[in-house]
Homo-oligomer: A and B are copies of this chain.
Amino acid sequence: MVNETQHTCSASSSSRSDGSSSGSESSKDNSRCSTPVLDADRHERLREKMRRRQEAGDKWFSLEFFPPRTANAAVNLISRFDRMGAGGPLFIDVTWHPAGDPGSDKETSSMIIANTAVNYCGLETILHMTCCNQTKDDITAHLQKAKRLGLKNIMALRGDPAGEEWEEEVDGFNYAVDLVKHIRNEFDDYFDICVAGYPKGHPEAQSYEADLRHLKEKVFAGADFIITQLFFRPETFLKFMKDCQAIGITCPIIPGIFPIQGYHSLRQLVKLSKLEVPQEIKDVIEPIKDNDAAIRNYGVELAVSMCRELLDSGMVHGLHFYTLNREVATTEVLKRLGIWKEDPRRPLPWAVSAHPKRRVEDVRPIFWASRPKSYIYRTQEWDDFPNGRWGNSSSPAFGELKDYYLFYLKSKSPREELLKMWGEELTGEESVFEVFTCYITGEPNRNGYKVTCMPWNDDPLATETNLLKDQLEKVNRRGILTINSQPNINGKPSTDPIVGWGPSGGYVFQKAYLEFFTSSEIVTALLKVLKKYELRVNYHIVNVKGQNITNAPDLQPNAVTWGIFPGREIIQPTVVDPVSFLSWKDEAFALWIEQWAKLYEEESPSRMIIQYIHDNYYLVNLVDNDFPLENCLWQVVEDTFELLN
């Protein structure tokens, strides 16, 4: 009887657990992974995720975007990825614009936008790719580049033939099926491949039936799933799906949903896709064609009701949204359907990357907590990523500081806005203290502007930091200019909405951490105070020249965030590492100049104030090792101020 009772614990282990529970042979099996699988999503391919969600009866959605025209728009699109990524899309996809140099390294190319989504936003991403009018070598080169960048999924399309006189090329790429075959030939099973389905038949197809046969060819050539062209009536899709199944297409077919967002965008899309807008929709829209809000409301209503019908049919498990790079309509539809799942729980306390080579990564220095994209950028050349211990990292050299537009030293806010927040004119170090203080408190500055970002924090204060707000305000006022901090946590549930991370059923812990810039006078007093706390507080104090004072034993990293989970080894995702602190120091000091000082004229008093701080202040970090006791770092700072008075 006992042998029949073989369990595996979690749904997430389904694909790999078959061999795990029987027979002593497995004692020789060393196939277990070297890092605890905290989040199956990081290890599964897209088609597996899709299957798992379907088996679990979880409805999901995905989002389509196109590459923007300007670098500024690219910066905004990336912020949109982060915001819409928070709702839990199964994947996003990025369209391929043959006219826009889509495979290039330009900040606005399809390739780079998809790269950014995967690596920096941690989103499962499909890159579209068209094949007609391209050479085999070009296509292979694009695919190789995509693979190198960590892209794992391709939407294989024919693309629109250039010019009227298009003719089939012998041995060329004439149809999407040629691209599917090419990918499978050259890259074996590396990529998950998606193809397009046309619920009304492709406009150029001989017939609806002929188009279905083409679709079947694409699937049989190696496609993993189908996303459909938009349609206006649920029954269109449901009929199409039944017809597909009838001829033997068994892979997932995902309906493409287009929430109508405006009169003109609808007309343009209809023109491009050669679709007919049903009369009942025209009847509603035409009378309100100049009222964008009304059209959008109607579009949301229509999409919600269509999606509900699709989901209720039991045949549809996921919905694909044509967002047109807009946020409001799609988000509203998803929220009303109840499939927008803003899960505050994070697999790890920092933003993970979806590049396959970073799957095992589970430790990072705390310094880049507010600049995760910079961290990913500066470590993109690493071959190994630390897991288990930071000390195990074999590639500790950080990439050089470069002025990469998308998310590096530049702020995403324009100069005028930054000047309003950080001061048109500084009168002394105290005006800088004030900016820091306003950022912490959320109160408007003396000119009535809220300080919503700082050079070291491109976003408003984290919820967790809010726990320390009163203390932070007090010390910033007096010239302890904080840029990073966390409270101590002595075993809160991993599901805690503010400090929790990782799978449920676990417990998370933190050591209190405080990082700030401050003057050499304060540092002198601080060092005297720290003698009293020698065994309890670890510190690193460094200036821009690299003069470094620390009591870290043997240059060892200090784990400051860790979690204990059922049936797992311990995860310690954040460390204070003395070695990488010196790389972070370069970046942290550079931000004073690149983001702040350069807002002002050279030689101007404001610029000289920032330059003075850059040249003379110290960057300090403090860790209170006694996490079960009350955080002593505020007392350390208090003692320091007392000593100064």
Q: Which residues of A contact B (CB under 8 A)?
A: 1-3, 5-10, 12-13, 16-17, 20-37, 387-392, 394, 396-398, 490-491, 505, 507, 509, 520, 523-524, 527, 534-536, 538, 541-543, 545-559, 562, 564-570, 572, 575, 578-580, 582-583, 585-586, 618, 623, 625-628
Inter-chain CA distance A31–B562, complex, in Å, is 25
> Which residues of the other chain, B, contact A33 by a CB distance below 8 angstroms?
391, 554, 556
Contact call B570/A32, Cβ cutoff below 8 A: no
Chain B residues closer than 8 Å to A538, beta-carbon distance: 9, 566-567
Residue among A9, A524, A534, A623 with the highest chain B CB neighbour number at 10 A? A9
Q: Which residue of B lies closest to A579 (CB)?
A: B27
Would you give 21 A-B contacts (Cβ < 8 Å), ordered by A?
A2-B543, A3-B547, A6-B549, A7-B550, A7-B551, A8-B553, A10-B553, A17-B554, A17-B555, A23-B547, A24-B546, A24-B548, A30-B579, A33-B391, A34-B391, A37-B554, A490-B491, A505-B535, A536-B566, A553-B567, A553-B568
Asked whether A559 lies within 8 Å of B554 as measured between CB atoms, the reply is: no
Chain B residues whose CB sits within 8 angstroms of the CB of A558 once the complex forms? 566-569
Known: A2-B541, A5-B527, A5-B549. 18 other contacts (CB 8 A): A2-B524, A8-B551, A23-B547, A24-B545, A27-B580, A27-B582, A29-B579, A32-B554, A35-B391, A36-B391, A388-B389, A390-B569, A491-B491, A559-B564, A559-B569, A562-B570, A569-B572, A570-B570
Contacts A490-B491, A548-B23 given; does A554 touch B13 at CB 8 Å? yes
- Complex Cα gap A107–B550 (Å): 50
What is the total number of copies of this protein in its complex? Answer: 2
Please determine whether A555 and B26 come into contact, CB atoms closer than 8 angstroms.
yes
Check A1–B547 contact: CB distance below 8 A: no
Q: How far is the CA of A1 from the CA of B520 in the complex (A)?
A: 9
Complex contact A389–B509 (CB within 8 A): no
Q: A29-B555, A564-B562 are in contact. Are A2 and B34 (CB under 8 A)?
A: no
User: Measured between alpha carbons, how far is A397 from B25 in the docked complex, in Å?
Assistant: 12
**CB-nearest residue of chain B to A21:** B550
Q: Hey, which chain B residues are within 8 Å of A568, CB to CB?
A: 553, 556-559
Q: Which B residues are in CB contact (< 8 Å) with A570?
A: 559, 562, 570, 572
Docked pose: A623 CA to B262 CA in angstroms:
59
Q: How far is the CA of A321 from the CA of B548 in the complex (A)?
A: 46
Q: Taking A388-B389, A555-B32, A556-B569 as contacts, is the C-beta distance between A549 and B37 under 8 angstroms? A: no
Q: Which residues of B contact A627 (CB under 8 A)?
A: 507, 564
Min CB–CB distance A6 → chain B (angstroms): 6
Query: A507 CA to B524 CA in the complex, in Å?
Result: 31
> Which chain B residues border A5 with CB–CB below 8 Å?
527, 549
The 10 closest A-B pairs by CB, nearest first: A24-B546, A27-B582, A566-B625, A388-B389, A9-B551, A388-B388, A538-B567, A20-B555, A7-B551, A32-B555
A388's contact among B23, B391, B555, by CB below 8 Å, is which?
B391
Which of B6, B16, B390, B509 is the one whose CB lies under 8 Å from A554?
B16
Whether the Cβ atoms of B535 and A26 lie closer than 8 Å is: no
**Which of A21, A397, A553 neighbours the largest number of chain B CB atoms within 10 Å of its CB?**
A553
B625 and A26 contact, CB distance less than 8 A: no
Report the Cα distance A392→B575, complex, angstroms. Answer: 19
Distance A549 CA – B554 CA, assembled complex (angstroms): 44
Asked whether, in the complex, the Cβ of B564 is within 8 Å of the Cβ of A24, the reply is no
State A628–B509 Cα separation when bound (angstroms): 12
Shortest Cβ distance from residue A631 to the other chain B in the assembled complex, whole angstroms: 15
> Which B-chain residue is minimally distant from A531 (CB atoms)?
B7
Report the bound CA distance from A1 to B541 in whole Å.
13
The answer on a CB contact under 8 Å between B391 and A523 is no
Q: Within the assembled complex, what's the spacing in Å between the Cα atoms of A626 and B582?
A: 39
Which of A17, A37, A564, A566 has the most chain B CB atoms inside 10 A of its CB? A566
* Distance of A614 Cα from B12 Cα, bound (Å): 36
Query: Are the CB atoms of A557 and B579 closer together than 8 Å?
Result: no
Please measure, in the bound complex, the distance between the C-alpha atom of A390 and the C-alpha atom of B585, giving whole angstroms: 34
For A565, the chain B residues whose CB sits under 8 A away are 625
User: In whole angstroms, how far apart are the Cα atoms of A366 and B538 in the complex?
Assistant: 32
* Of A397, A535, A570, most B-chain CB atoms within 10 Å: A570
> Are A12 and B553 within 8 A (Cβ)?
yes
Alpha-carbon distance between A12 and B567 when the two chains are bound, in angstroms: 35
Give the residues in chain B near A520, CB-CB below 8 Å. 2
Are B2's CB and A534's CB within 8 A? no
User: Judging by beta carbons under 8 Å apart, are B549 and A582 in contact?
Assistant: no
| Interfacial chain B residues near A541, Cβ < 8 Å | 2
Residue numbers in B under 8 Å from A507 (CB-CB):
627-628
Q: A494: shortest Cβ distance to chain B, in Å?
A: 11
In whole angstroms, how far apart are the Cα atoms of A220 and B568 in the complex? Answer: 55
Q: How far is the CB of A7 from chain B (nearest CB, A)?
A: 5
Shortest CB-to-CB span from A44 to chain B, Å, is 12
CB-defined contacts of A559 to chain B, threshold 8 Å: 564, 568-570
A567 to B35, CA, bound (A): 23
Collect the chain B residues with CB atoms within 8 Å of residue A490's CB. Answer: 491
Question: Please, how many angstroms separate the alpha-carbon atoms of A391 and B37 in the complex?
Answer: 11
In the complex, are the beta carbons of B24 and A552 less than 8 A apart? no
Smallest Cβ distance from A345 to chain B, in angstroms? 16
Residue of A5, A491, A534 most packed against chain B (CB within 10 A) = A5
Expressed in whole angstroms, the Cα–Cα distance for A398 and B34 within the complex equals: 18
Residues of B within 8 A of A572 (CB): 569-570
Residue of B nearest to A393 (CB): B30
